[in-house]
């Protein structure tokens, strides 16, 4: 883990690199000077329920037997918390969230309509394609339904069918660059993008890059209707109940996109606090040696470690 950049020296055993609030340590309260005063009345929002005490991400990582990466940003893209945040990890299916964003933005630019349809055929079916398979007899599916399927149930065939709309893997990589992400790259389609070979940078991101680009897309670059649609799909996701969502305290809302490829377990979530503040949390876990269920639980435990800090940060921001 790289050294902190702010003036206050961090003890060596502090698990997070803190970049938003100088001098904030685990278990402490945020500075009242975290943001300039607007003159508004103090919020009357109820106090959020505290999560179970969070652990040290380094210990969580060690217990998993793998490599853990965490990044938390606010809606302006400011980095709040990180652990191995700049390291590369296989995206697996987490790429489907920014893919859906790119598809929605293409429709906003009148390149096609989300109600338009794409042909589907038997040769498009991959091993995991529940929605496309169910619609195969129809011969076509609306673009909106394919995007929803890619996000909410992680349908692999749906993602492959959408990729040509944005210029294929290279086009999606160009989309990342256009929106300020110089790290994330997609090189292949499903299922080969899930290979996750040691040292191979293809189809990878970093927790910091993914959290930051998703915040930029949702809260800055996407038109409001498109951002609202993407967030709605993320909130309706059916695959992440045992990961980030499982580590959230009561009153926090989440929409997420998971990614799993045998040797990797990932989750990227947009969070809303009880005060109405938005954040994006990305957690990537590479090559854990524990069983799959424990890998899911590792992500939930890492989330609790984040939330132990974030509830304090959020309290200092009001709402």
pLDDT (tens digit per residue) in 229-244: 999 999 999 999 999 9
pLDDT (0 to 100) of residue 107? 98
pLDDT over threshold 50, residue 39 = no
Distance CA(68)–CA(122), nearest Å, equals 38
Helix (H, G, I), strand (E, B) or coil at 152: helix
Label residue 137 exposed, middle or buried (CB < 10 Å: 0-12, 13-18, 19+): exposed
Indicate the average pLDDT of the chain: 88
pLDDT (0 to 100) of residue 55? 81
pLDDT (0 to 100) of residue 10? 34
Q: Are 304 and 88 in contact (CB under 8 A)?
A: no
Q: Which residues are catalytic?
A: 93, 190
What is the average per-residue pLDDT within 140-148? 99
Which residue would you say has higher pLDDT here, 36 or 119? 119
Helix (H, G, I), strand (E, B) or coil at 222: coil
pLDDT (0 to 100) of residue 16? 54
Count CB atoms within 10 A of the CB of residue 143: 22
pTM summary value: 0.86
């Amino acid at each position: 883990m790289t050294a902190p950049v702010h003036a206050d020296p961090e003890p060596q055993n502090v698990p997070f690199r803190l970049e938003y609030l100088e001098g904030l340590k685990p278990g402490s309260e945020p500075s009242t000077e975290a943001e300039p005063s607007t003159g508004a009345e103090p919020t009357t929002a109820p106090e959020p329920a505290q999560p179970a005490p969070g652990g040290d991400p380094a210990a969580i990582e060690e217990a998993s037997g793998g490599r853990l990466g965490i990044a938390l940003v606010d809606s302006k893209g400011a980095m709040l918390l990180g652990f191995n945040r700049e390291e590369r990890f296989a995206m697996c299916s987490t790429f489907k969230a920014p893919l859906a964003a790119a598809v929605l933005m293409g429709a906003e630019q009148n390149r096609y309509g989300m109600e338009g349809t794409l042909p589907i055929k038997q040769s498009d079916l991959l091993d995991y394609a529940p929605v496309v398979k169910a619609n195969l007899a129809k011969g076509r599916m609306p673009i909106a339904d394919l995007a929803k399927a890619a996000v909410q149930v992680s349908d692999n065939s749906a993602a492959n069918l959408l990729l040509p709309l944005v210029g294929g893997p290279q086009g999606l990589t160009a989309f990342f660059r256009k929106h300020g992400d110089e790290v994330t790259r997609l090189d292949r389609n499903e299922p080969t993008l899930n290979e996750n070979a040691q040292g191979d940078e293809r189809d990878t991101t970093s927790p910091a890059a993914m959290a930051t680009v998703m915040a930029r897309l949702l809260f800055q670059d996407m038109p409001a209707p498109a951002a609202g649609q993407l967030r709605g799909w993320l909130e309706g996701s059916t695959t992440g109940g045992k990961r980030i969502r499982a580590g959230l305290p009561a009153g926090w809302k989440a929409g997420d996109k998971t990614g799993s490829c045998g040797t990797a377990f990932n989750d990227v979530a947009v969070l809303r606090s009880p005060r109405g503040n938005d954040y994006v949390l990305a957690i990537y876990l590479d090559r854990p040696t524990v069983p799959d269920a424990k890998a899911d639980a590792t992500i939930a435990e890492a989330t609790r470690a984040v939330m132990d800090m974030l509830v304090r940060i959020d309290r200092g921001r009001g709402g």
